[in-house]
Amino acid sequence: MTIRTEINSQAQVVCASSAALRPKMSHIAAAAAAAIIMLVTTVTFVSGQTLSAPTNEFPNTIVLPGARSAEGIAIGQGSIFYASDFLAGDIFRGDLRTGKVERFIHPPNGRQAVGLKADIRHGLLFVAGGFTGQAYVYDLQTGADLATFQLGGLINDVVVTEEAAWFTDSLLPHIYRIPIAPGGSQRTIVVTGPAADLSGFPNLNGIAATPDGKTLIVSHSGLGAILTVDPTTGVSKLIDGVVVPAVDGILLDGGRLYAVQVDLNQIAQVDLSPDLSSGTVTALITSPDFEAPTTAARFGDRLVAVNGKYDTGFPPTATTYEVVTVRKP
């Protein structure tokens, strides 16, 4: 049984004909729809040291043409990136090196697109569907609509491991598992412990996983904290020493975690202990191009973030939304 057949058999709602749903493509925005401006990224270390890291040939910002909002970012093959329009559900595809970008997927009305991850090995794009309570699976190369899963409340972010895609819910203390490998089962993991706190909003938000898939790492916006979750039992534990107010998306890179702090216009760099029991914020990454960044992905020695522009309100009212590239410390 193929990967796509397995996903379709697990889906609660599957598009009747993927071939009939060819994604609508816009022309590549001329010159990335924005001039390439040579700016400086500032990295402030907790010790007080400041580095100035000049950019090179990469554009600092890439405008998403026609976007009404922006939320998620994922890296595909080479320098290809995918970014989501939260409110419209559209997915943009672009090139970090050239700055060229296009509207890649224009889904049926009523969909939303929050966090997303590219599964290059299986050629799949997993998208969290926000307030629809759904998750979507698209073909990574063609944009074909492969499957829809009805999951829960506010489906916020997703991480992909070798065997499954894992989605967070910001309204319920749940994490949802959608299998990639044949023979897997769709499951709802009921989270217990501190990550199950629902006293604020949003609650569970960003999600990452260790390379072996045995531990999930989540951000909790209401607590301003980073926690581990056992994907089998749902038991959560605080990662001590890490205080990240207004935390949104997270990115695990080896023994280091990057936590996007949307209201503070910065990304916290967190060095984790080997057993993930504690961590230390070692740097705060800022950029003059940040405007309420929401999520981040890694491309080589760079972080790629997307501006949600929630400083304008919700829904946001900005006229343009962009991807921002900064150097890691």
Q: Which three-class secondary structure state does DSSP give residue 266? A: strand
Give the phi and the psi of residue 19 in degrees, each rounded to 5. -65, -25
pTM attached to this predicted model: 0.85
Radius of gyration of the chain (CA): 18
Distance CA 39, CA 59 (A): 10
Which pLDDT band, with edges at 50, 70 and 90, does 194 fall under? very high
Mean pLDDT to the nearest integer, 170-187: 92
Give the range among 50-64, 86-100, 123-137, 202-216 with minimum mean pLDDT: 50-64
Percent of the chain with pLDDT over 90: 81
Give the range among 2-11, 77-86, 288-297 with minimum mean pLDDT: 2-11
Which pLDDT band, with edges at 50, 70 and 90, does 171 fall under? very high
Which has the higher per-residue pLDDT, 41 or 196?
196
- Per-residue model confidence (pLDDT) at position 141: 97
Q: Which three-class secondary structure state does DSSP give residue 263? A: helix
Mean pLDDT to the nearest integer, 20-41: 28
Q: Which CATH architecture has domain 3-327?
A: 6 Propeller (2.120)
Q: How far apart are the first and last CA of the chain?
A: 44
Which pLDDT band, with edges at 50, 70 and 90, does 11 fall under? low
**Nearest one of 308, 282, 20, 43 to 157, comparing CA atoms:** 308
Q: What's the token pair of residue 231?
A: 């994907």
- Per-residue model confidence (pLDDT) at position 184: 78
Mean pLDDT to the nearest integer, 165-191: 94
Single-letter code of the amino acid located at 289: D
Cβ atoms 306, 69 nearer than 8 A: no
Q: Is the dihedral of CA 200, 279, 268, 94 positive or negative?
A: negative
- Give the mean pLDDT of the chain: 87
Cβ atoms 76, 140 nearer than 8 A: yes
39-82 pLDDT, tens per residue?
334 444 444 333 333 345 789 999 999 999 999 999 999 999 99
Is residue 1 pLDDT above 70, yes or no? no
- Domain coordinates in residue numbering, the chain: 3-327
Which pLDDT band, with edges at 50, 70 and 90, does 182 fall under? confident
Distance CA 205, CA 154 (A): 10
